[in-house]
Structure 1
Amino acid sequence: MAFTGLAFAGTGASQAAPCAADYVLAPDNSALSILFSDLTVEGSGSVQCTIDVPLELPQGMSLGVYRVDYRGFASLDKKEVATLDVDFALGPKGNSRQFKRSVRGAMEDDFAFSENIGAGLMKRVGCGVDARLRGSVSLALKGSGDALATLDTGDGASRRGLVYRFNLKAC
């Protein structure tokens, strides 16, 4: 399996600059990590990033996403809330999933959510169908002052971002 690039659009922390992301494919092709360099919101408001990753699957193979890990950091006072909202699709329309979770203050720590996708819910792509991973990621913050939430990996904390875990099998 190979990836031919990563396209992204949206707003980064400054709202005037576009979001920026990169990806890392596990050596055994079992996982794809999307690493954001500036998906951070401070005080209150939201940031958003869309991704589009073309996938080149081996002939006669299909791909499914069976688990997604969502990782970030939040610094929140009491009554402040950070909300992560992810909508991703694998292949054509109708293959989308939505995931939404919130973290509440008071806290100053990493956060992590995992979504296990059962076999009956897993959407597959390949076997002659265009294979693409498309998604929209938004991070919203209801806070004030020094509140902060991020999926930013600019500090070298590679554990932050999105990790898609794949199941590759014959058609």
Structure 2
Amino acid sequence: MVRALLASGAAVAALLAAAMPAQGAGSSVSTIKAPPDKIVIEVATVNGSGCPTGTAAIAVSPDNTAFTVTYSDYLAKAGGPSLPTDFRKNCQLNLIVHVPNGFTYAVMGVDYRGFASLERGASGVEKASYYFQGSPATASRSHTFNGPLVDDWQATDTTEWANLVWAPCGVKRNLNINTELRVNAGTSDRTRTSFMTMDSTDGSLDTVYHLAWQRCPTP
């Protein structure tokens, strides 16, 4: 397991949220600011064609209100000399989140950003989902981008406070995050390549997950 370094969260683009209900979370759980103690995130596993070994890193913001995932080799493409398997890339992260005693958290929003070069008639899709270990439900969001497009892309999803789903109090549950990029050549000129990345033009992108906090009820 690789222990994530504590660092400041950088701004980026696309949001996502929801997961497993907290045990005991509800009217008896009080809403608070982020706990003063630092949280630590460890990467249990990282798998997928969009995040080969050593190309994804995680950092926690100093104020405990967000954590970032940075990708450096996340690209899907279609058309031109692309291989049949290049049209879809994905990355699944299994995270161990060490939360200060007496607190629970929910993912309130997620920001993703990338770059797209899509020919006329081509399209790209960014999809993300996550769930707490043992949860039967998986929340997901997707965003479609249509060519012609040669520009940075971004998408932002947020969850209303009343609809947040909290990690269970007093129970260790790994957080699973699965992201995906797909590119469809569609009616575009198949001799030309369309592609979509989940990284910036300088080769890195911080995906920011914004956290909400509550204090667990006293036993």
TM-score, with length taken from structure 1:
0.87
Distance in 2, matches of 1:163 and 1:62, equals 19
- Stretches of 4+ moved more than 6 A in 1? none
Q: Do residues 23 (structure 1) and 58 (structure 2) align?
A: yes
Number of residue pairs matched by the alignment: 166
Distance in 1, matches of 2:206 and 2:196, equals 12
Distance in 2, matches of 1:67 and 1:166, equals 7
Q: Do residues 148 (structure 1) and 190 (structure 2) align?
A: no
Contact 1:57 1:126 survives alignment (8 Å)? no
**Hey, what does 1:2 align to over in structure 2?**
40
Contact 1:87 1:136 survives alignment (8 Å)? yes
Calculate the aligned-residue CA RMSD, in Å.
2.1
**Hey, what does 1:33 align to over in structure 2?**
68
Distance in 1, matches of 2:212 and 2:133, equals 14
Matches of residues 148-167 of structure 1 in structure 2 within 5 Å?
A: 148-153=195-200, 155-157=202-204, 160-167=205-212
How far 1:43 sits from its partner (Å)? 2.1
How far 1:154 sits from its partner (Å)? 7.6
Q: Do residues 132 (structure 1) and 174 (structure 2) align?
A: yes
How far 1:103 sits from its partner (Å)? 0.6
| Residue identity opposite 1:85 in structure 2 | K
Matches of residues 30-69 of structure 1 in structure 2 within 5 Å?
A: 30-43=65-78, 45-69=87-111
Residue segments in structure 1 that go unaligned for 5+ positions in a row: none
TM-score, with length taken from structure 2:
0.69
Which of the two has greater strand per residue? 1
**1:102 paired residue among 144, 148, 162:** 144
Distance in 2, matches of 1:146 and 1:31, equals 35
Residue segments in structure 2 that go unaligned for 5+ positions in a row: 1-38, 80-86
How far 1:102 sits from its partner (Å)? 0.7
